[in-house]
Structure 1
């Protein structure tokens, strides 16, 4: 050992300090390093560039609903009905996803109030297998809509999905008409159905309940579309415009009604519910 190493190791301040690896968050858009606490306090929105980060179901529910809301029980469905296997068994993928998430599948619903306005809120979590729509998601969506009808209150859904869950094949695609029927039942009951489109909302979810709301709200910069941009570009053989399939582009072209920052989302939903849902006698 050299004299320099001996001296350095003997100094009391030379001991390497262990620092937590979760103190910093890197913004996906501007690539600035942010204090995790600062990022969390700003509702997972970058204070530098305004990028709206992806958040889980529990964080979304707590941001939208007043304290004291109650989670709805998740409907039980048959798992792995097709005995599907690719590089892994579908059951193993589910176990892996559940080990990293607090809920059993990608759609979580709760009943409560938004600034005093009664509502059922359903949240799709992209962190659970890309928010993919399978039988569990379809059943949870329909159960939440049914609860809204029972309570005679509005139904708010925050979408985030890569599309249908391929491991369930045609059964996952059947959730599209199933959810569509429930949106029709809400309309027949005279209850508002509000959709918050978050990043990303794509595939079969976009082709069904994500675009059937009475009012469509999008978070800034959210990717919203059916097919991927590369597929569209190769099909039409034209260069797509800047910002294509982003929330602001869809707003400019009449596909969404408003683009709302996350900090204003709760008050916006409360105002819409006050305008649209039946008032208690």
Structure 2
């Protein structure tokens, strides 16, 4: 299985910044140490043309040039720097690369990504460019894939993905998220499942089963992009849900089984995670990657 990484494109942040940037490096190091059969590769950066399939060209240009307003930068949550743009382009490139790899081998992983708050003409919530939307547009424009499902199981609604793709007939955006969590003004996905604070394993998995069944009735995907957020975890500082690690593993298994039973290629991104201990975030993401290897089929 190929896993794409871009953690060495470092986004400089103040020491007091709460975003756990180190998780990406630690995740790659653990994969390298414990899963030697996983092929770690660096992606190319997403080009302007690739980004502009999903994003407004003026926004891409202003973001790249450092011409976003103070309010736009504040909404993104990162201080602007050339490194921020390069990392964002690489993260989008990693999801596109994971999609191409998954078409050949069944499954592939971006060890970052899941930047689902970036909208057509703006960024937000630590998201500059929406990698799942960019990759979806790439699949349709370049790879002969007509219908893509985006299964977003980050604890926060995929409002940016809904803004970009929520009206598309050839895409299905599914978001299972905390009702009272960020973003406080939600967009409309093809299927939104809003969960109350404190939702635990049993209720979450029942809601996921129903959501996947509903998606299956309404839409026949040819490819799935899965945002495997670590932030529904009970120890997450921002999540407000109460899934255990076993519950998160069962969540992943539901998505993997959905794809396996239908023979669907699957690209996985890590999305959010804000546990008090960064080791917990890494462990949750690592478990997802470990389980995904069972879906891998060697390229012909």
Shared fold per TM-score greater than 0.5: no
Q: Which has the higher contact order (CA 8 A, sep 6+)?
A: 2
Q: Which has the larger radius of gyration?
A: 1
Smaller-chain TM-score bracket: 0.3 to 0.5
Q: TM (normalized to structure 1)?
A: 0.38
